[in-house]
Amino acid sequence: MESYQAERERMVNQQIAGKGVSDEKVLEAMRKVPRHVFLPEEARAQAYLDSPVRIGSGQTISQPYIVALMTELLDVHPDHRVLDVGTGSGYQAAILGELAEEVHSIERHPELAVSASERLESLGYAHIHVHVGDGTQGYLAAAPFDRIIVAAAAPDVPEPLLEQLAENGRLVIPVGTRFSQQLEVWDRVGDDYKQRKTISVVFVPLIGKSGWES
């Protein structure tokens, strides 16, 4: 365990702070959450490397730097309610759980949702709720959200996600083709939305009614 802590410290210093993420609360969360616990047993040695890792069902847990950067862009406050689209392993949800009052996370693969939910519960994250469903439609039962983060690539910004943003809400989402996207930040200002594009990224496809067909 102690060596994992040291590896995490190194991950934050070299791969995250070292590449320009400076929000101290985000760095603290990345130091704290045990990333190896979110990986299949046989992949745990890769937990603190500077790369994405396969988690089963054809899906991947994002590179630590991308998780940190997206979380920094999201600008989560302690009183926020957050929607996390694409639960996968639950790692991003745990990072959000360190920063927000309540997290709803939605995943289309039931088996990933079940194992992420069990993992988050065993780590004590009682304020993170995992749901099975099509996250391109948001999660109406708990809307509106102060923040929404999407960890899969959309062809266009799904309209329901914009609609489920609270006043002054923010959405961070990769938008583009199936092979390359740009990370977009959308801010709700009254009934208007302001959009800006940031870095190029590569995510697995967002599959659903307002995403890719398959």
Decide if 75 contacts 30 (C-beta within 8 A): no
Decide if 137 contacts 210 (C-beta within 8 A): yes
Instruction: List the interface residues with ligand SAH, window 178-207 (CB under 6 A).
Output: 204, 206-207
Which residues sit opposite 54 in a β-bridge?
A: 60
Token pair listed for 30 = 């990345």
Q: Compare residues 8 and 108 and give the one whose CB is closer to ligand SAH.
A: 108
> 124 — alpha (psi -120 to 50), left (phi > 0) or beta?
left
Active site residue 200: no
CB of 105 to ligand SAH, least distance (A): 8
| Contacts with 121 (C-beta within 8 Å, 6 or more apart), sequence order | none
Pick one of 89, 115, 117, 164: the residue that binds ligand SAH (CB under 6 A): 89
Check residue 174 for interaction with ligand SAH (CB under 6 A). Answer: no
* Stretch near ligand SAH under the rule CB under 6 A, chosen from 15-23, 40-48, 132-140, 174-182: 132-140
Catalytic residue among 62, 105, 117, 210: 62
Token pair listed for 82 = 């957050």
State the catalytic residues. Answer: 62
Residues in touch with ligand SAH (CB under 6 A): 59-62, 85-86, 88-89, 91-92, 106-109, 112, 134-136, 151-152, 204, 206-208, 211
